[in-house]
Amino acid sequence: MRGSIDGLGSSAPIGGMLPAVFADDDLALRFVAGLDDVVAPIHSALDCLDTYFKPFLAPLDFARWLASWVGAETDGTEPEPLLRAAVATAAYLHRIRGTRRGLAEAVRLAFGTEPVITESGGADWSGRPLGRFPGEERPRLHVLLALPAPTSADEYRLDTIVAAARPAHMPYTVQVTVGEPAERTPER
């Protein structure tokens, strides 16, 4: 949290900006020195304003606010490094939302491990019309996540993330198991 900082000097002291008439007035100089103590954190924040919008440099409470501002998929329980990574990649994830890669990235950012994603789709081409369509007849998406010590809330959280990041038309199932994290899934 930002606030007053003991001993923080102002980058623009008010006493030096007063008219010459007040330069020798001890009461006026002490009064504006008190104002400098109040205004110094504001000057400090404004001098460093650009760092507040860099997720890895911003104060933690500001990074949490930034997560809501950019639409990062967070629930407030993630560790600080995952929160900052989610904020940094939010715009990228919005661009690839609804794709296999987007789903895998959203799950990886939330849990810190790579999911195993199986789906029913496919892509192919044919030189003749009325060829067989690739993939399965019914759409299907299954996300398996192996965690070293899963909790009862992990499956609910995974379900929420998959519901938000999957293709809109795709029915899905999720499963959280005990185990070592999976290897990175190949992209299609």
Using one digit for the tens of pLDDT, what is the confidence trace for 59-70? 898 999 999 999
Q: How far apart are CA 102 and CA 94, in angstroms?
A: 8
Mean pLDDT of 35-46: 80
Q: Into how many domains does the chain fold?
A: 2
In a domain, 100, yes or no: no
In a domain, 6, yes or no: no
pLDDT at 139: 85
Q: Which string of DSSP letters, residue by residue, matches 110-162?
A: HHSSPPEEEES------SSTTPPPSS-SS--EEEEEEESS--HHHHHHHHHHH
pLDDT band at 142 (very low <50, low <70, confident <90, very high): very high
In a domain, 69, yes or no: no
The dihedral over CA atoms of 18, 19, 24, 28, expressed in degrees to the nearest 10, equals -40
Task: Say yes or no to pLDDT of 185 above 70.
Answer: no
Asked if residue 147 lies in contact with residue 111, where contact means CB atoms within 8 angstroms, the answer is: yes
Q: Which tokens go with 130?
A: 């009325």
In a domain, 125, yes or no: yes
Mean pLDDT of 133-160: 88
Mean pLDDT of 96-124: 88
Single pTM value for the model: 0.63
Task: Say yes or no to pLDDT of 3 above 60.
Answer: no
In a domain, 123, yes or no: yes
Higher pLDDT, 103 or 139: 103
Which residue is it, tokens 């007035």?
25
- Domain that residue 126 falls in: 113-188
Per-residue model confidence as pLDDT tens digits over 118-135: 988 777 777 778 777 777
In a domain, 106, yes or no: no
Give Cβ neighbours of residue 51 (< 8 Å, ≥ 6 apart).
57, 58
In a domain, 97, yes or no: no
